Structure formats: C-alpha cells, structure tokens
Structure 1
Amino acid sequence: MLKIQVILLLGVLLWSFGQQRKPTIYIIGDSTVRNTDQEYWGWGSLLPEFLDTAQITIANHAMAGRSTRTFQKEGRWDKVDSLLKPGDYLLIQFGHNEGSRPDTTKQGYRGVLRGIGKDSVVLDWGNGRTETVYTYGENLRRFVRQARRKGAMPIILSMIPRNQWNQEGRVKRADRDFGLWARQIADEEGVPFVDLNEITAAKYEQLGPDAVKEKYFPGDHTHTNKAGAWVNAASVVEGLQAIQHPLAKYRKRP
C-alpha cells in the first residue's frame, strides 16, 4: 500500500513539474495580429491551429490600433512584462500604425520617430504632462531587452504585407522602412528574425492581385479575413522552421 502511495505521489509531483515548466508564447502587436475575429482576423488568433497547445501556451496580447509607442503608453507592455517567466517566448510584430509624424493630435498620437536611432522628442500634452517619443527601432530594442531580463526569448517579425502592388505586378515590401528596421534591431540585439512580410508577399504573388483581394481582403488593403490570417499564421510557423527556431518543434503534425 505504501509503495502505491509513493508511486502516486511521484506521479503527481512529476505532473505538477511538467505543468509549471510549460512555456508560454506571448504575442504583442496590432490589429493584424489580433482583431475582432468576426470579419477581420489577426494571425495570432490562428496560431493555435498550427502549434501544439498541449505542450505550449499561446497568449495573444496584441491590440488593434496600437503602435510600439501606444502599446507602451497604455500600460499594455507593462502587463505582458509582468507575466514573462524564464523559458517563455515573445513574438513582436508592429509597423502598421507607426507611420505618422509623432505629435499630440489625433493623426499623430500613435506615430514614432523613423529609423533605429536613439534620438527622441518630448511632446507637451498640457497640464504639466509630457511624453518622450522614441524611434521605432528603439521601442523594439526596449521590448527585447526587457524580455531578456525576465529570461524570456524574444523574436522579431516584420509586419504582414498590405494588399498593395507595384506596376511590375509585385507586392510592395516593407524592406526599406519598418521591415528593414525590424531586421536591423534583430541583428543588433542578436535575436531571431522572421521576415513575415516577405514570406506572405511571395504567397500573394503566386495568386495574383485579383485572387488575393477576393480571398483575403474583404475591406481595406491592410486587414485580412480569417482565411488571410490563416495564411499569415502559416507563414509565421514556416519562418520559424526556416531559421530552425526551437518553437518549430511544437508544430502540429499533419
């Protein structure tokens, strides 16, 4: 009887240890990562379709309309940072809401300084309230460094491509601005980079603009439907596999 009790106790302890060691993938980003999940979908909502959630937890903290600046300003990053544990992962994908000139107007409240430098600007919101705005790259740099302090492993992704095409029939890339800067920060900080922009753009080009519009973009040129989000989630996992990232081992088998 005592032997059975010892075996049961060991089993419970091993199960408890396994539960405690189950890592979490935290995702931060904008509406292309998490949306209303009605007409428009973000790829983060469909990532569980591709990864084995019996072995890893997925926590999608992305929020529509946010930039690297407002995600921090609203305290959303502080919440994620407080949850990070050693062995967790952090997927970072921003870029769609950063483009305006940073100021205190409705048009500029999400904007950041361009590039990856450490320059900044101080905005005066009145009533003694000020805000220091940094570059897109510096914001990514801060996410990466703070995550690492917690023992988490950050991964930077370039933004998904918009449904915009040039005269040569190719999807417009983000490889001269936000996609480039995301790659540069990943290289500088020595963290993995998934070129989601390029991977999905290549898929779009195989279909052509008319089919892409019909299949994936029910409204504007930025937000996809569920089918489009599925394509982007698949691209994320393919990108992880291409760089032989440890997260790829959690991919569900067909």
Structure 2
Amino acid sequence: MLSISKFLGLVGLVTPATSSPTHAKRAPTIYLAGDSTMARGGGGGNTATDGWGNFFPYSVSLPVVNKAIGGRSARSFTVEGRFDEITRLVQPNDIVIIEFGHNDGGSLSSSDNGRTACPGAGSETCKSVYNGQQVTVLTYPAYLINAGRALTAKGAKVIISSPTPNNPWEGGGFVYSPSRFTTYSKSAAASIGSNAFFVDHGQYTANIFQSFGKQRVDSFFPNDHTHTSPAGADTVSRAFVKGLLCAGGSFLSGSIKNSTGSVEGNCI
C-alpha cells in the first residue's frame, strides 16, 4: 500500500493538459459613418428612398455596421459624439468608411445650423454661436483628420470617400463637377497616413449615371435631387465597390464578392 506522501508525489507527476482550444481568427468589421445618402432609409425613412450603405453588405464578405444618420455633417457627427462611439467600438484591422459633404457647406455668418464647417482646407477655425453658445468650428478636413487619426490609433483602417453627386441629369443634360469636399476628402486621407485610403465615390457614381442616361437616372431620385430610390442606392453602392476594385481592393482586398468587370463603369 502506498503511503500518503508517495501517493501525493505520484499525483504531482501527472501534468494536466495545458493546450487551450483554438480560437478562430476574428473577422474585421466594417463601420459606415455618413449622412442620409449612406444611411438606412435615405432621406425620409420610407420605402421611396434608401442609402447606399444599406446595399453595401451584399458586396462584401465581412459584417457591416451602418452608423450613418440623416442630416449629419462631419462637424455634427463629431460634436454629437458619433465618431467617438465608433472609436470605442473598433478593434485592430476593422475598417471605417467615412463619407460626408452634402450637409457641410453653407455660411456661418448669418446663422449657424450646427452642421456647417469653417471655410478652409487646413487648421483654420471659426468662432460661431450655436444654440446660444459660443463654439469653435473646425474645417471639414480637420474633422475628418481628427476622426481618422483617433480610429487608426486604435488599429483600424479608414477609407475616406468623396460625397455622392446630386442628380447630374437634373438640368436636362449631364453635368457633374466635383465639389470642394472631394478635394478635402482626398487631402484628409493623405494627412491621416498609410492606414487611410481615398475613394472618389462621387466620380465613380457620376460615370455610371452618365452611361445610364437621363431617364433611368431620373427614376433614381423620386423625391429630390439628392436622395436615391433603393435601385439608385444599389447603383451608388456598386459605384463605391468599383472604386475599391479599381484600387486593388484597398483594405478590403479579398473581401469583395464582385469582380471588377461585373460592376458598371471604368476605372479612373
């Protein structure tokens, strides 16, 4: 019969299994930050319009979280803490697509709507009064750069997108001129650094709209010249995908379901 001391010694020789279960590698999440042209329901929350972000999940194999909300600008998205919310949520290698521009213009001299950015392409600031409070307003690119740097500091990748065009056939003939927010978006991506990328969504969308012709494109805008029908939103989403594919997929390389040739339009 073994003594207690010998028994305990033998027990000590038995080494429990130390291998831990293998955990599947976490798939990155895509977050969308933008205005009504990207948001679910588009410009009215009814079935007549929808934002392109609602169709984007069909083109990628990664989960998509649409944080876009109607009526927002880069400034108001910042002030309301919506960029902060996404920054808290992101994990390394997540991708955040940022697209504003439709609500960021206007003037601060008459009245401040809480959305207008300070004019300028850099670090200029403006003093304004909003809701009875003195506020400091930054430029459009400054809001994007601040958000992008906070996100990339968490290990996320950022795609800055130019705003989608209003109906370029509205006047009878096709007219599209990129706004200053396209230039600002491109410069912001460059300022954020190697973990940011620019997609000229506006130009890719305009090119497809031109090829479709007036009648078809007019049908994409049931209420006004900005907000698209679901069919229009689907086309605008595909235009964004085209921009990614033409750049080799950017941070979404290997996660895009479409082939370059399967999406309308040409690479620019």
TM-score by length of 1: 0.84
The runs of 5 or more residues in structure 2 that have no matched partner are 1-16, 260-268
How much does 1:168 deviate?
Answer: 9.3
Per the alignment, do residues 158 and 37 of structure 1 end up closer, same or farther by CA in structure 2, a change over 3 Å counting? Answer: farther
Structure 1 segment 10-89 matched on structure 2, within 5 A: 13-14=21-22, 16-18=23-25, 21-34=26-39, 35=42, 36=45, 38-52=47-61, 56-89=62-95
How much does 1:207 deviate?
Answer: 1.8
Question: Secondary structure of the equivalent of 1:178?
Answer: helix
Supply the distance in 1 between the matched residues of 2:202 and 2:146 (Cα, whole angstroms).
Answer: 22
Supply the distance in 1 between the matched residues of 2:258 and 2:73 (Cα, whole angstroms).
Answer: 34
Residue of structure 2 equivalent to 1:91: 97
How much does 1:123 deviate?
Answer: 2.2
Residue of structure 2 equivalent to 1:161: 165
Supply the distance in 2 between the matched residues of 1:126 and 1:66 (Cα, whole angstroms).
Answer: 16
Structure 2 letter corresponding to 1:112: A
How much does 1:25 deviate?
Answer: 0.6
Q: How many residues align?
A: 235
The runs of 5 or more residues in structure 1 that have no matched partner are 1-5
Question: Secondary structure of the equivalent of 1:250?
Answer: coil
Per the alignment, do residues 240 and 126 of structure 1 end up closer, same or farther by CA in structure 2, a change over 3 Å counting? Answer: closer
Residue of structure 1 equivalent to 2:189: 186
Question: Secondary structure of the equivalent of 1:22?
Answer: coil
More displaced, 62-71 or 237-246? 237-246
Structure with the higher helix share, 1 or 2: 1
Deviation digits for residues 112-167 of structure 1 (CA, Å, limit 9, x no counterpart): 1233210111223476x332111111111111111111110001110111103487
8 Å CA contact retained: 1:102, 1:110: no
How much does 1:253 deviate?
Answer: 5.5
How much does 1:189 deviate?
Answer: 3.0
- Percent identical residues: 33
8 Å CA contact retained: 2:38, 2:68: yes
RMSD, aligned CA = 2.3
